[in-house]
Structure 1
Amino acid sequence: MTQGSGSDILLERMTRLHPKIIDLTLARVERLLAALGHPERKLPPVIHVAGTNGKGSTQAMIRAGLEATGATVHAYTSPHLARFHERIRLAGELIDEDHLMAVLDRCMEANGEEPITFFEITTCAAFLAFAETKADWTLLEVGLGGRLDATNVVERPRLSVITPVDLDHQQYLGDTLAKIAGEKAGIIKRGVPVVVARQHPEALEAIEDKAARMGAPVLAYGQQWHAGVERGRLVYQDERGLLDLPLPNLPGPHQIVNAGAALAAMRELRLDDEACEAGVTRAEWPARMQRLRGWLAEMVGPGELWLDGGHNPAAGEAIAATLRAMPAAKTHLICGMLNTKDVAGFMRPLGDVAERLWAVSIPGEANTLTAEETARHAAEAGLRAEIADSVEEAVAAATGMGAYRILICGSLYLAGHVLRQGA
C-alpha cells in the first residue's frame, strides 16, 4: 500500500468512528454483519486460533500444510507489519488495493456513522472478502482475547486452536492466567474439537472447564498428543502414530511448541504425513526471529541482523532461549517498546544472553516508551544499556563495538517500522 492510497484514506477515516482503540463487545460487529447480509455465515470451513503467543506462527504452519495438499486458504491475521493488506489473504494471495477499497467502502456505507472500532470494521471487511472469494478453508486469528473478539461470531468453526496463554493485556482480559485463559477459551464452540498447546496448569484447567461445559473434544499437549526434539528432529506423537520430521523452518525452541499445536490441528483435519511435514518446514512468518538481509544488515558486514516482534514476558523467555540455542557470538540488542507493556517482565530473561542493549523510541508511535525508560529497565535487568536516536544509529554503534549478532526486538510496531524501511 503506497502512502496516501485510497485504502489509506479510508482506514484513517475508520479510526475516527469510535473513540477507543479497544472496546470488547460483539454488539457492533453483529449489527454491521447483519447489515452486510451475514458474510460470516458464508465462509469456507473455519479454523479459529486464539492464545497469547504463537498464534501467527501456528496459523502460518497450518496454512502451509493445507496449501501443500493443493487446498486454497483464506487467512486473517493482525496486526500488520508494513502494510494493512497483510491482514487479509484471499485464497493464498494478499488482498489487492482495488478489492480492499471495495470491501472497505461497502462496510463504511453499511455502517454509516454508527460507532465501531477499527478492528471491528476491518474484520467485517475481511469476512466480506472471504465470503465472496472461493476457497477451501478460512483461518481466523483472534485479535485480542477470544470471548468478545470481533472474530468470534462464527457459530460453528471446523476446529478451534488455543496456543500458549500467558500474561498480556491484563487491563482487558484479567489479572490472572486463569482469567485470561477463560477469555481465550471463549472461542470454544459446542461440540467443536479444540487443540490446546502446552499451557500453565491454571490456564489449562480454565480451558478444559470451558470445553467440558461446551461438550467440545479436547486435543491437549501432554494428553492426546506430544511434541519434542530428539536427535535434532521434531518428533510428534498422537493416537494415530508418530511423525519424525525436520525441525521447523521458523527458528527458536518455542516454535517446537507452535509446531506441535499446528500438527495436532493438521492431524485432526486428516492431512497426510507429507502435508504435515510441509506445514512445519515451509511456513514463513515475518518478524519472528527473522534474519534480515537488506541494506540495514549490510551495515553489520559479516555479522547477523535479526528481527523479532515479541513484546511480553513469555516472548522475552522465547527470545532468550532462542539466543542460547544459537552458536555463541557477541550479541547486542536494539529494543523499543510500547508504554502499555510489561517492560520489566520482557527484559528480565534477556540479562544474560546479550552483552549490551541499545534503547530506541518507536518512530511515529504515540504510546512508545522513551528510549531513556527502556534503557532504565534494561539496566535493572542486568544489561549494559545505551541510548540511540534511531535503529540505524544503534546498528552502526553496535557494529562499531564488535557485535557479531544484533537483534532488533521489543515490539511489532518497531518491527513494522524496520520492514517498511526495506531492511
Structure 2
Amino acid sequence: MTRSSLLAKLEIIYNLRLHAPRSSLADRSDYRTLLERLDNPHKRLPPAVHIAGTNGKGSTLAFLKAMYEAAGYKVHTYTSPHLVRFNERIGLGGQDIADDLLETYLDHVMNMAQGLQVTFFEITTALAFLAFSRQPANICLIETGMGGRLDCTNIIEAPLATIITRISYDHCQYLGSTLSQIATEKAGIMKPDRPCIIGYQQGFQGAPPSHDSETLPFESIAGQIGTPLHRAGREWSVSFTESDPIHFTFRYGSLQKLYPIPYLVGAHQLENAGAALACTHVIDSFPIHDESRATGLTRVRWAARLQRLDHHPLQGLIPEDWELWLDGGHNDSAGEVLARQAQAWHVHDPRPLHLVMGMKRDKQADQFLAHILPHLTSISLLTIPGMEEQSHDPLTLRQLAQSRRPDLAVACPASLNDALRRLAQAASCPGRILIAGSLFLAAYILGQEPYPLEQTLRA
C-alpha cells in the first residue's frame, strides 16, 4: 500500500453523490444497512462523548482530549473537516490514523457499501466507527458533522455525556433560519438520562449575544426526554480578571478552582475550556485530577483557531517584528469572537490590525464583518485559492466593507502573497495580520499536499 493508492481511493469517496437531507435518521436505510454489514461497530465503541454546536465544538473536543490524555487515558477522536490530510478526521489513541490502517478499513467499508447509496460523510463515519471498535481505547470523543438530530453520528444510543457549544448561523439551508431552529437540531443529540453540558450562548463577560435575545429551546427539549442539563452560567461558569492574566476561575456547583489560561488564544477559548472542564466533572467513570486538567489546558493544540504562524513560509513576506495569525472563522459568532480578541490585543499590545479575508459564497459575509470591521486598520479581500468560483467576489465585498466603514483602507490584491507584501510595504509601523474567513483558506495555508481544497467538504 502506498500513499498514492490511498489518495486514489479517497478520491472515490470525495466524489460520491451528495444525498438530500433526510427527514429523520431512520430514513438513512442504506447507511444503517452498511453499519449492519460491518457488524454494527457503533454498538461496540469505547464510552463516548458526543459534541454538537456551531462554534467551538472542535476546540472543546481538543480540550477534553488533552485533559484525558494528561490523566493517562487512551482517547479516540472523530472530527471534521480535515485541513491537510484526511487522516486528521480519525484519531486513534492520540495519533492520526496511519495510512495503511486507513486504507485497510476504507477497503473493507467500500466493499460492504457495494450496491448502497451512501454519502461521503456516511462512509467516513462508518469508517471511524469501525476503527474505534477494533482499536482499544478508554474513551472516544465524537463531533457531529452538521446539526445533530439528523447527523449520522447521532446513531450513538447511550453516550457518557453530550455537549452543545455556541449556537450561531451556519448551514441555514439545512438547519433552519432562526437560532431556535438551529438549536433544536443541535439538541437532537440529547439522550434520556444522559447528562448534557450546554456551553455559553453569549460571552461569559457579558458580550452581546449573537442571537438577538432569541430564546433557545434546550431546557424544554431536555425536560421532555429527561436529560439532565449542566448549563454555562448556571451549574458551571468561568471568570477572568485583568489582575491575574495567567489564570482563570472555573466554578462547578459549589466547587471553585483556579486554572492556567489555555494555550488556545481568545476569551472564547475560556468558554470552550469551561465546557470541557464541566464534562470531566460530570463524567465520574473516568476520574481525573486537577493537575491533569491544568496540564491539558496548557498542552492543547487545535489548528486554524487564532493560530499564530511563527514559522510559516508566509512569515518571510512580512518584517520580523510583525505578527501573522490564522483563523478559520466564517460566521457571525466567529466575527464576534475575533472582535473580542481585537479588543484584547488593543489593550495589551496595540498595533494596526489588518484583515486578509477570503470566504465561500454561501457564508454570510455581512454578519461576519459587522463585528470585526470597527477594529481594523485595513482589509484585503481575495478569493480562496482553488475555489475562486465558489468564493465571494472581492469587489462585492469591497462595496460591503466601504458601506460600513467609508474610512477603511480596502484592497483586492491578486493573491495572498501579494496582500502580505503590499501590507508590509505600505505600513509605517509593525502590524498584526489576521487571515480569516474560511477553513478552506486555512487549509490552503496549512496544507502541503496537492489535493483540491474542496475535498474537505463533507456530505
Matched, 1:267 2:281: yes
- Measure the CA separation in 2 of the matches of 1:196 and 1:353: 30
Counterpart secondary structure, 1:263: helix
CA distance in 1, matches of 2:397, 2:101: 40
Name which of 256, 260, 268 aligns with 1:246.
260
Q: CA deviation at 1:113?
A: 3.6
**1:106-137 deviation line (CA, Å, top 9, x unaligned):** 11111114221111111111111111001101
Q: Which residue in 2 is equivalent to 1:290?
A: 307
Confirm or deny that 1:371 pairs with 2:391.
no
The CA deviation at 1:23 is 5.9
Counterpart residue identity of residue 416, structure 1: A
Query: Contact between 1:300 and 1:404, CA under 8 Å: does it hold in 2?
Result: no
> Counterpart of 2:125 in 1: which secondary structure?
helix
Q: How many residues align?
A: 421
Task: Indicate whether 1:397 and 2:422 are aligned.
Answer: yes
What are structure 2's unaligned runs of at least 5 residues?
202-208, 450-459
Q: Distance in 1 between matches of 2:90 and 2:365?
A: 30
- Asked if the contact 1:188/1:211 (under 8 Å) is kept, the reply is yes
1:229 corresponds in structure 2 to 240
- How far 1:373 sits from its partner (Å)? 2.7
After superposition, the C-alpha distances for 1:332-381 in whole angstroms (9 at most, x for unaligned) are 11100000101100011111211111111111225222222333333233
> Are 2:161 and 1:159 equivalent residues in the alignment?
yes
- State the match for 1:279 in structure 2: 296
Contact 1:344–1:381 under 8 Å retained in 2:
no
Q: In the alignment, which of 410, 414, 422 is matched to residue 441 of structure 2?
A: 414
Residue 17 in structure 1 maps to residue 31 in structure 2? no
Tell me, in whole angstroms, the C-alpha distance in 2 between the residues paired with 1:204 and 1:160: 21
1:240 CA drift (Å)? 5.1
In the alignment, what sits opposite 2:205? Answer: none
Give the TM-score, by structure 2 length: 0.88
Query: For the Cα contact (< 8 Å) 1:378–1:384, is it kept in 2?
Result: no
Residue in structure 2 matching 1:212, options 212, 217, 223 = 223
CA deviation after TM superposition for structure 1 residue 267, in Å: 1.4
1:224–1:212 distance in 2 versus 1, CA, 3 Å: same
- CA distance in structure 2 between the partners assigned to 1:341 and 1:358 by the alignment: 18
Amino acid of the structure 2 residue aligned with 1:284? R
Structure 1 residues 98, 400: closer, same or farther in 2, change over 3 A? same
RMSD: 1.9
Q: Determine the structure 1 residue equivalent to 2:357.
A: 335
Classify 1:24/1:150 alpha carbon distance in 2 versus 1 (closer, same or farther; 3 Å).
farther
The separation in 2 between residues aligned to 1:315 and 1:113, in whole angstroms, is 41
SS at match of 2:257: strand
Instruction: Measure the CA separation in 1 of the matches of 2:248 and 2:121.
Output: 36
TM-score of the superposed pair, with normalisation by structure 1: 0.95
Which consecutive residues of structure 1, in runs of 5 or more, have no partner in the other structure?
none
Q: Deviations over 1:73-108 (max 9, x none)?
A: 000110011111111100111001111111111111
The CA distance in 1 between the partners of 2:90 and 2:401, in whole Å, is: 36
- Paired with 1:83 and 1:33, the residues of 2 have a C-alpha distance of 25
> What secondary structure sits across from 1:151 in the alignment?
helix
Preserved CA contact (<8 Å) 1:15 1:117: no
* Equivalent position amino acid for 2:15 in 1: R
Deviation by residue 1:25-73 (Cα, 9 ceiling, x = unmatched): 5314322111111000111000000001001111100110100110000
Q: What is the SS of the residue equivalent to 1:352?
A: helix
Identity %: 39
Contact kept? 2:22, 2:150, Cα under 8 Å: no
Name which of 269, 272, 277 aligns with 1:258: 272
In structure 1, what is the equivalent of residue 453 of structure 2?
none
Alpha carbons of structure 1 residues 69 and 21: separation in structure 2 relative to 1, 3 Å: farther
Question: Which deviates more, 257-266 or 383-392?
Answer: 383-392
Alignment of 1:86-235 (within 5 A): 86-199=88-201, 205-230=216-241, 231-232=244-245, 233-235=247-249
Cα separation, 1, equivalents of 2:199 and 2:146: 18
Structure 1 residue 276, shift from structure 2 partner: 1.8
